[in-house]
Structure formats: C-alpha cells, structure tokens
Structure 1
Amino acid sequence: MEGNWYEIQNDHEIATPALLVYPDRITYNIKRMIEIAGDVNRLRPHVKTYKNAEIIRMQQAYGIHKFKCATIAEAELLAQCMAGDVLIAMQLVGQNVTRFYELVKTYPETRFSTLVDDLGHAKLLSDISCQNGLITPMWLDINVGMNRTGIIPDKSAQELYKYLSVNKHIQAMGFHVYDGHLRDSDFEQRKNQCDASFGSVLQLKEDLSAQGINVDTIIAGGSPSFPIHALRKDVELSPGTVLLWDAGYGKRFPEMDMQVAAVLISRVLSKPVEGIITSDLGHKSIAPEMNFPRIELLNAKDLEQVSQSEEHFVFKTNQWESYKIGDLIYGIPMHICPTVAKYQYLQVVKSAKVVGRWKVGARGQKISI
C-alpha cells in the first residue's frame, strides 16, 4: 500500500528538524507558472523564496532567463547560474552600492539592474555609476498602496523618471510595481483591487508618453496578483512563492492550482505532562512571525499548537497515549520564504526517499562579494 505523498521511507537517515523538497512538484509549479503567464518570456520569477541554484536551473531548463531578487547574495547566485538578466528589487544603500558595482564587473555575462524611488538617491547612484565608467540599468519603483517602498505615481514620479531617461549614466528600464498588500481570497475582489491600483501606473505611463518619454516595460506584482497581471499585455510577471508554495497561500489562492513542494519534518522529543507533547521544531526552524497555527499539520491533525520557543514546539492533544518519543510530524509551513532561509540545505525527496540535498546558497548576506 502506498503511503502519503509527503512521507519518506528513510527518515532514520535525516536529522530533524529538516525541510524536505520534492522536485517533481517543483516541476509541476514551473509548468503551471508558465501556463498562467502564457509566454515564458513574460516571466521574471523572484528567487527570495528558495535561494537555491538547483531550482534556478530547473526554471532555466524551461526557458526562464530573467529573474528578480532582493539581495546581493541572491544576485550573485543567479550570476553563478549564468542567468542573463537580474533585477535587484531593493534600493541600493550603504555598502550595497559598492557591492553592486563589484558584482557588475565580476559577472559581465549577466545584465544587472536595480530600482530607485528617490531623486536625490538617483543622483547619487548616477555619480557612482559615472565613477565606475558604467551605465546602470534602473527601474522606477512605484508605490500603489502598500506603503513599504516606492514613489507615489504623481508629478514627482514623472520628474524622477524623466531624470532617469535623460541621464547618460543611467538606462531607464521602466516601472517596477509591487502590490503585495492585495491578498483577498476572492479572485474577483482581488482583481478589482489590483486593476484599480494599476490604473494609476497606466496613467503615469500615459502622462510620460505625452511628454515624449516612453516606458517600455512594467514589472508587476508578486504571487497573489500574478494571475491578474498575466491578463494584461506587455507586463512582466514576478511571482516567487509559487515555486514551493505554502499553506498560507494555498488556503487563500486555491485557484492558482499550485502544489506544495516543501514540507517540514520534526520529531516528538518529550511528553512532559499528560495531554502535552513537544517537538523539535522551534523558532530557529520555521518562520515565527505568523500567529498560530504556524504550520499545517499533515499527519498529526489532532495536535493543537500552543506555544513555541527557540528549539521547541509545544502541542496539546487528546490522543497523548498514541504518541511515542521519536514519532515523526510532517507539516506545511504557513510562510515558506523565511522558513527556507533557516536551513543550510534542503533535503531532496524522490520516490519517497531523501536522495540528496541542495544548498540554500544565498541564505546569508554574502557569497563572495
């Protein structure tokens, strides 16, 4: 009799807690991502979820050549994988400015770009680009209501993009628009909200066009708004979580039809009092910023998540007698992106066995640059 899809037969070889990944399911998600996009050339997936060379190469095998990332380390990992086009979607500040230009010179086969939302900072980057004898590809980061980064698409945004367009040390690439605050589980509601916020972006593009300044490309959205922006013409798409998926997005966005491709495995390590069991899945092993539940349990569904500390996860159960020390607990993290960063390696599962491991190569701030 076959077991559940997530179960492994050689668990005695794996130290817990561990993060299991399933390449066949990742492949399914890549194909599904391309299907939603309609054209592989529209995709610029974000690597922040997995930070891993093998998953980058899996996408490249399907024709994906543009990527988005958040750190210099992620950008360097992409360059080591011979990615052709890499956007660092964080405004460069401090030492990261110097590191960016070192990256550009070290990996000339990759085109690196970055973004900006402030005129004064754009002038600083222009000066440094000049000092390095380079022309820096740069995107205008637009705030459509998330109020985390970006410039409001008004007259000041027009002035900033004009500056990028005429500056001889900058190549104006287009707009970068992230609407991660739009997460309504009802697709039509989410679409209406997304379309409304995107209207201001299109108006900005139109206003610039009237002044003789063309905006060639718009990069829009993340995983929640990915299927909506896919309905537009001439928009690049940058989902990230879709590669591994998680319980949080799985519950909110079932219409995307992605498969969970990463599972946490832990073990019961104590039964300190009747009705309580404790596993070894602490803060250090799963993203702790979520409210309970932080994990969707797959095989121990009677457990109620009570508390968590650095090394321990405490559960209540009315089936206390049925648990033994060392029993396995499988679960899907509610938030996969910061969970991956807690692991040095992903444990690779094929045919119900862990057959190897993939290094989370960009989990730290630095690889070599």
Structure 2
Amino acid sequence: MKTDEWFRLKNPEKVISPSLLVYPDRVMHNIRTMITMAGGPENLRPHIKTHKNADIIKAQLDYGINKFKCATIAEAELLAQCNAPDVLLAMQPVGANRERFINLIQKFPKTVFSTLVDNPLTVKQLGNLAAKNKLQLNLYIDLNVGMNRTGIIPDDEALKLYETISTHPHLLAVGLHAYDGHLRNPDAKIRKQNCDEAFEKVLHLKENIIKMGLAEPVIIAGGSPSFPFHCRRKNVIASPGTTLLWDAGYGDLFPEMDFLPAAVLFTRILSKPKAGILCFDLGHKSLASEMPFPRVQFLTLEHGKQLKQSEEHFMVQYDDLKVLEVGEEHYAVPMHICPTVAKYEELIVVEDGKVTGNWKVAARNQKITV
C-alpha cells in the first residue's frame, strides 16, 4: 500500500460494499484540532448530528469536552448513555417531542439538558409541562441571524421572550443560540466579515439583556463554516459538527481549515453496461443524494464525470475502461457526510489498513428508548 493511500484496505475481499469506513487516527486529529482552535475544550459544544456515535462521543469526553449539542431526542439519549454532563437539544421540541424531552430529563438525572425556543407559544407549553412535572427547564432562545430556517429575529421581541422565560418559576433562561450555516463564502476574509456582521445583533441583544438586570446570557454560536471565527471570541461557545468526520464538500470550500476526511465510502464496480460508463453500488440508499453532482470525491479515479444516481446504482462516465474491471473496489469521500452516515447501521473501523471492528451509528433512528 502506498504511503499516501491512507484509505486503502489491505484485505478488502471480505468487506461488503457499499460500506462506510472510519479512521480513528483521523477522528482524533480532528478532535485535537478543534480543541486547539478553540483554546481549550471548555469553549466547545460540538454537534453529534454528523456521526451519531458513542465511540466518537467518548473520545471527545476523554479529551475534556463535556458540553454537546444534538438534533434529536435519540441523539440526546445517546449522549446521556455516554454520561455526557451537558446536552443541548438544538431542535425546538414540538408535538410529542415535548413530552419526550421531559421523559429524557427524568430518566437521566445526571445529565443537564437544555433546549431551544423561538416563540411565546412553545415557551408557554414547556412552562406548563415543567410545572406539571415539578421541574425547571433550561432554555436558550434560538436566534435567526440570517439563515431564515429557525429562530426569532434578535430584536425587541426576542428581548421580551427572554424576559418571559426569566420570570417563569419553572423555566431558566440560560442564553442565546445563533446558527449561521448560510455563511459559506470560500474566501475566509469575506466569510469572517459576514459572520461578524451577523453576530453584531446577537451582541446587541446580550447587552440589552444585561441592562434589564438579568444574568449575562451564555452564547452558543456557529457551525463548522464559521467555527474559525466564533472559536476566537471571548465568552462564546462554538459548536462545530462536521469537523469530526469532515467531507469533500467542506474540504473544497474551506481548504484553510486543518481537518481531515475521516470517513470514506467503500464501493465496487457493479457493471460496465456500455463503452465509457461505469456503474458503482452507491445508490440513494447508500449515499446522500440531495447534493448536485458530483456527490463524492473519488480517491481512486483520477477523472470521471458523475452522471446519474438511482436507488442502488451510481453511474460514472469514464474514458479509460481498459484498466477497470467489474468487482474492482474503489474509495470515495462523500460531498456531504452527515446524511450519508445516517444511512449506515455501523461504521467499519480501519486502522493501518486493517478492519479492527465497527462503531454503531446508534442514534440514526428517531428513538432509542425514550
């Protein structure tokens, strides 16, 4: 195996395809890089939506990271099962998830849970549930800083909502949450400028909260694209997620970040149906399909145009079929790793070119027990 082919299996014949391979040494590199950039683990609240995996959670705990962020009740439960001390459910609980959030708190009393709200109705509903169950719920206000996906605009209405939470006997206003995933300019200077401009409104809201006589709010900010900027701010907790496994999409957009792809798709050529066409076993069921083509970055094809994807198949135009045979194995980094991981029950662990075990993607489903 060539030294630069870190991804290649020494004995691939017994590995089924498609599979998602994970490389622990690269995961650990990414964890250390996050901590170094943030100036210490205390300034981090990494998201687990990318990996949904206990082994990676425990590795972060071993490095001193004790605050985490998640998107689902199942992910929150996985964190609690790993004895994570502090867990933020970063999806406002609605419908049945409100009761599930209460059940989670009751089932895992050693973990401090919090969640997001962005409107008076949800605050009222959670307040009633907290009173009914004799609990105090920890809440962050989710702020819309330009992505227009969730959150409340950081203006007087947000200030009023924060005050409402602060005066409720069964609710605790912990702080502010600002996700700016829409800021993806590949020019780091422009991306920083955009990030700083969006964050100004958050700081202004924080100042008004303090002027009201309330405790200084904790601020959780950003995702992976804005991580290099938020991680340098004083009194701000940065919350990257994709940084744990990285992918080709972010790698191409943000080459200045020192993260390594740590998960690779293992695939084989299924067929050569006509001259110039290769078919791989990377259909929608095995590879995130919401991205435009290309959807992977092949590590073992020097060129080729990705044409089409269906449920089980992935077609690539290639002009040198003489050296490629049906059944031949190949390796590819997904352009978008997060939804790709969720398609696999387990990650195949590879160390020094050998399969050494598997890591269960335990929170890929909606529910574990709660």
TM-score w.r.t. the length of structure 1 is 0.99
Distance 1:367 1:296 in 2: 33
Native 8 Å contact 2:206 2:217 kept in 1: no
The amino acid that maps onto 1:125 is L
- Other structure's SS at 1:356 match: strand
Alignment of 1:42-191 (within 5 A): 42-191=43-192
- Other structure's SS at 1:168 match: coil
The amino acid that maps onto 1:307 is K
Query: Could you list the per-position Cα deviations for residues 318-348 of structure 1 after superposition, in whole angstroms to 9, with x for gaps in the alignment?
Result: 1112211111121100000000000000000
Gaps of 5+ in 2: none
Native 8 Å contact 2:278 2:316 kept in 1: yes
Distance 1:290 1:354 in 2: 29
1:354 corresponding residue in structure 2: 355
Distance 1:281 1:111 in 2: 40
Shift of 1:260: 0.7
Shift of 1:250: 0.4
Native 8 Å contact 2:21 2:263 kept in 1: yes
Distance 2:238 2:294 in 1: 30
- Other structure's SS at 1:12 match: helix
Distance 1:146 1:323 in 2: 44
Query: Could you list the per-position Cα deviations for residues 265-295 of structure 1 after superposition, in whole angstroms to 9, with x for gaps in the alignment?
Result: 1000111111111011101111100000000
Alignment of 1:1-369 (within 5 A): 2-3=2-3, 4-369=5-370
Query: Could you list the per-position Cα deviations for residues 31-90 of structure 1 after superposition, in whole angstroms to 9, with x for gaps in the alignment?
Result: 000000002101100000000000000101100011000000000000000000000001
Shift of 1:2: 3.2
Shift of 1:26: 0.4
The amino acid that maps onto 1:143 is N
Shift of 1:243: 0.4
- Other structure's SS at 1:96 match: helix
Distance 2:266 2:273 in 1: 21
The amino acid that maps onto 1:33 is M
Distance 1:28 1:124 in 2: 43
Distance 1:194 1:318 in 2: 43
Structure 1 vs Structure 2 CA RMSD:
0.8
Distance 2:40 2:280 in 1: 44
The amino acid that maps onto 1:243 is L
Distance 1:161 1:46 in 2: 24
How many residues align structurally? 369
Gaps of 5+ in 1: none
Native 8 Å contact 2:114 2:137 kept in 1: yes
Q: Identity of paired residues, percent?
A: 54
Native 8 Å contact 1:56 1:81 kept in 2: yes
- Other structure's SS at 1:292 match: coil
- Other structure's SS at 1:164 match: helix
Query: Could you list the per-position Cα deviations for residues 159-208 of structure 1 after superposition, in whole angstroms to 9, with x for gaps in the alignment?
Result: 00001111110011100010000011111100100000000011111122
Native 8 Å contact 1:138 1:171 kept in 2: yes
The amino acid that maps onto 2:244 is L
Native 8 Å contact 1:282 1:313 kept in 2: yes
Query: Could you list the per-position Cα deviations for residues 126-183 of structure 1 after superposition, in whole angstroms to 9, with x for gaps in the alignment?
Result: 0011001100000010000000000001111010000111111001110001000001
Shift of 1:303: 2.2
- Other structure's SS at 2:273 match: strand
Distance 2:81 2:296 in 1: 33
Shift of 1:215: 2.9
Distance 1:216 1:174 in 2: 4
Distance 1:200 1:320 in 2: 56
Distance 2:209 2:74 in 1: 34
Shift of 1:210: 1.7
The amino acid that maps onto 2:221 is A
Distance 1:209 1:45 in 2: 27
Shift of 1:214: 2.8
